[in-house]
Amino acid sequence: MTARSEFEFSVKLSIGQFVPGSSLLHMLDPRVKIVVCVMLIVSAVLVGRIFAVTLLFVLVVSVLVGTGVGAGLAFRALRPVAPFLAVLAVIQMFAIPQLRENAVIVWEWRFLHMTDRSIVSGVLLIGRFAVIVMALHLFSVTTSTNQLIHGVEQLVRPLEKIGVPAHELAMVVHISLRFLPILLFETEKLMMAQASRGADFGKGRGVRRLRRLFPLFVPMFLISLRHAEAIAESMESRCYTGGRGRTSRLRPRLKRADYLAIGAFIAADGAILAANYLFSEAVWGSRALCIL
């Protein structure tokens, strides 16, 4: 099993699986969930204080628990990336030069320095990552592919006037979601077939590694070309003529619950962002407070 694992891509997709259910989140309009998810990711990138990231994390977890999705499902997404994340955080702490004048060196050994700022940035990295993964998870667990595609199309449709192709964008999302597992599976199959005939993908670096990959990708391109022709033909034989004039059987309307949900979320997220900027060094003057 361990020998095979280097070829297995599809098992690595830990999040992004829709779990059917009847929680409040499942019932919400997909547009609301897309907006909430994007806002969560943007605010996770924007906040620069540990307490604010913690609050965002608490917000996501409480949404997941409060709406009956369950936190266990959410934490499952974090588990496979945790070791990788820890390594990244350590790199962040030591390798990024925190050349700020007011950083205090906490620990020092030969050429390694750890400043209070670098500890904060390491912790922030983990926090932001956790919030982003949970936000994506919150979205993907409760939204089916169909809902996602309708949501994207409806959300982008107002932008059609300035030339953004809403329907094509939704179609891109649809095709990629549908065919990613298939392409991964085909790649695995091809790699295993080549490995059984003596190909070695594991070792080597740089150019040598690159040259080993080319025999893999040429047949992959041919396979996907064949897929593409089959999909295009089957789409056309079902009267697909592009986005112009196309109507949809499902027309999700925003309900009162949707407005309430998005209102409550914007209030909570705004409060966290405002707190993040208010607790600055300039306002409070206290160093410990501003670092946290």
Partner 1 sequence: MHPILFSSGLRTAPNVRHKTLLLVKGVLFSLLFALFTGLMSKARFFLPFTPVPVTGQVFAVLLGGLLLGRVFGPLSQAFYVGLGLLGFEWFSLFPLVPTGGYLLGFIAAPYAVSLIMERKTATTGFLHTMTALSAGVFVIYLFGFAFFTAATHTGPIVSFRLTVLPFIPFDLAKAVCAALIICPLKKKYGPKTLI
Binding site for partner 1 (CB under 8 A): 9, 12-16, 45, 77, 80-81, 84, 88, 91-92, 95-100, 125, 128-129, 132-133, 136, 140, 168, 171-172, 175-176, 179-180, 183-184, 187, 205-207, 209-210, 213, 217-218, 220-222, 224-233, 235-236, 240-242
CB of 275 to partner 1, least distance (A): 20
CB of 207 to partner 1, least distance (A): 8
Q: Please, which residue, 64 or 191, has the CB nearer to partner 1?
A: 191
- Spatial separation of the C-alpha atoms in residues 269 and 200, rounded to whole Å: 49
Q: Please, which residue, 19 or 172, has the CB nearer to partner 1?
A: 172
Long-range contacts of 207-213 (CB under 8 A, 24+ apart): none
CB of 118 to partner 1, least distance (A): 10
- Cα–Cα distance list, 151 to 38, 43, 96, 251, 284 (Å): 13, 21, 40, 10, 43
- Spatial separation of the C-alpha atoms in residues 12 and 9, rounded to whole Å: 5
CB of 182 to partner 1, least distance (A): 9
Q: Please, which residue, 141 or 261, has the CB nearer to partner 1?
A: 141
Q: Please, which residue, 1 or 207, has the CB nearer to partner 1?
A: 207
Angle between helices 116-142 and 30-46 (to 10 degrees): 170
Can you read off the two tokens belonging to residue 5? 């694992």
- Residue 290 carries which side chain, given as an amino acid letter? C
Q: Please, which residue, 15 or 261, has the CB nearer to partner 1?
A: 15
Q: Please, which residue, 24 or 50, has the CB nearer to partner 1?
A: 50
Dihedral angle at the C-alpha atoms of 6, 8, 11, 12, nearest 10 degrees? 50
CB of 136 to partner 1, least distance (A): 6
CB of 162 to partner 1, least distance (A): 17
Print burial letters for 62-77: b (CB count within 10 Å at least 16), e (below 16). Answer: ebbeebebeeebbbeb
